[in-house]
Amino acid sequence: MTTKPRILEIRQKVLKQNDLLARELRQRFKDSGVFVVSLASSPGSGKTAFLEKTLRTLSATYRVAALVGDLETDNDAVRLARARVPVKQITTGTLCHLEAAMIERSLEDWQLDQLDFLFIENVGNLVCPSSYDLGENIRLVLLSVTEGEDKPLKYPTIFNTSDVAIITKMDLAAAVEFDLPAALANIQRVRPGMEMLTLSSKNGAGMDTWLEFLTAARLRDMPATATFHS
């Protein structure tokens, strides 16, 4: 018996399943009139504090909810629930990122058409989340002033695949001698034209600009459904 080698061309994206599912989710979000925002950052960049403040402020006017990815604990979900909006934890175990299938499963018992905004907090990680489309309208990448100005150069992929960069913990900028112009220049180096915002969840500086940006982005993406809810 002999063997016969041959080459078979297949040309398939490795993450095809995820991409297809993300596309379906995106359509579902659009049909339901919910604007979806995902957040990626390093651990400890102030993602949860930022999200808590955002949910709290936004919920006065809009119907909002959040999905929170975390390796083990539900601490973040508990913190966010203080904002009195629906929050669901996605425990990923050892997985370092969220995938579209996890989002789909988590949404099973939620009425999407009852929401105006859905936030998806990814696992604290600047590498892996960049590969997975979750069907979101916009992807935010957060960078805190304590992490240093060169973070965008170290993790160009997540910055290049995100839509908005948010610099957090600005209240600490002076204490850590954060060079804001350098940080902004580094972001523009890896993603020219990227929308950039600076804020402090602690003292609230910059939150108004962020919320204005967000509501305008929703209006732009779904003009027909952007009605006022109270």
User: Where along the sequence are the contacts to another protein (CB under 8 A)?
Assistant: 1-15, 17, 95-97, 127-128, 130-131, 153, 156-158, 160-161, 188-193
Q: Which residues touch 80 (CB under 8 Å, ≥6 apart)?
A: 48, 51, 52, 55, 66, 68, 87
Q: Which residue, 181 or 192, has its beta carbon nearer to another protein?
A: 192
- Residue-wise burial string across 140-155, b where 16 or more C-beta atoms lie within 10 A, e elsewhere: bbbbbbbbbbebbeeb
Least CB distance from residue 67 to another protein, whole Å?
19
Question: In which region does residue 181 sit, left (phi positive, over 0), alpha (psi from -120 to 50) or beta (all else)?
Answer: alpha
Measured between alpha carbons, how far is 34 from 32 in angstroms, rounded to an integer?
A: 6
Q: Which residue, 49 or 95, has its beta carbon nearer to another protein?
A: 95
Least CB distance from residue 127 to another protein, whole Å?
6
DSSP, collapsed to helix, strand or coil, labels residue 60 as coil
Measured between alpha carbons, how far is 217 from 214 in angstroms, rounded to an integer?
A: 5
Q: Which residue, 93 or 223, has its beta carbon nearer to another protein?
A: 93
Instruction: Write the CA distances from 207 to 57, 98, 120, 131, 170, integer angstroms.
Output: 9, 26, 18, 29, 11
Q: Which residue, 188 or 215, has its beta carbon nearer to another protein?
A: 188
Least CB distance from residue 171 to another protein, whole Å?
29
Least CB distance from residue 224 to another protein, whole Å?
28
List, in sequence order, every residue forming a beta bridge with 43; answer none if it has no partner. Answer: none
Q: Which residue, 171 or 195, has its beta carbon nearer to another protein?
A: 195
Least CB distance from residue 98 to another protein, whole Å?
11
Q: Which residue, 47 or 97, has its beta carbon nearer to another protein?
A: 97
Least CB distance from residue 186 to another protein, whole Å?
9
Measured between alpha carbons, how far is 30 from 117 in angstroms, rounded to an integer?
A: 11
